[in-house]
Amino acid sequence: MSESKLRDQSLEFAISVINLVKDLKSKHETVISNQIGRSGTSIGANIREAQYAHGKPDFIAKLQIALKEANETGYWLELLYKTDYIGEQTYKSLDAACASIRVMLIASINTSKENSRG
């Protein structure tokens, strides 16, 4: 798994989240849109920060924060779907993208932990 693939996917996901937030705000939904806007864009920001980490522990910590933000974003997506703010197709598409990022983050974290032991 390439780090640039993770960076690219997290950036594309952040763009999708920003567009979702714009749509939600046009429907006068502000509570969840503010939350998902923060968590959904924070994923990529933490992945970018990891590029310039101060050593392996800091790198792993940044990726773990990104993973937590991705998990939180998944929660907000589910909540938006279950409260009829987004349709099933939008939910499935965004949730799949978020899940893909989580899988890549877990793989990167595990690889980094294994390499730091060796």
> Does residue 101 belong to any structural domain of this protein?
yes
Number of alpha carbons in the 13 Å side-chain half-sphere of residue 46 = 22
CATH number of the domain that residue 62 is part of: 1.20.1440.60
Nearest to 97 by CA among 38, 44, 30: 44
> Does residue 47 belong to any structural domain of this protein?
yes
Q: What is the pLDDT of residues 25-50, one digit of tens each?
A: 999 999 999 999 999 999 999 999 99
> Does residue 92 belong to any structural domain of this protein?
yes
Over 90: is that where the pLDDT of 63 sits?
yes
Q: Which domain holds residue 14?
A: 3-113
Give 64's contacts (C-beta < 8 A, 6+ positions apart).
109
Domain count, the chain: 1
> Does residue 118 belong to any structural domain of this protein?
no
Quick one: average pLDDT of 95-102?
Answer: 98
Quick one: average pLDDT of 85-108?
Answer: 98
Over 80: is that where the pLDDT of 1 sits?
no
> Does residue 7 belong to any structural domain of this protein?
yes
CA 101 – CA 30 distance, rounded (Å)? 25
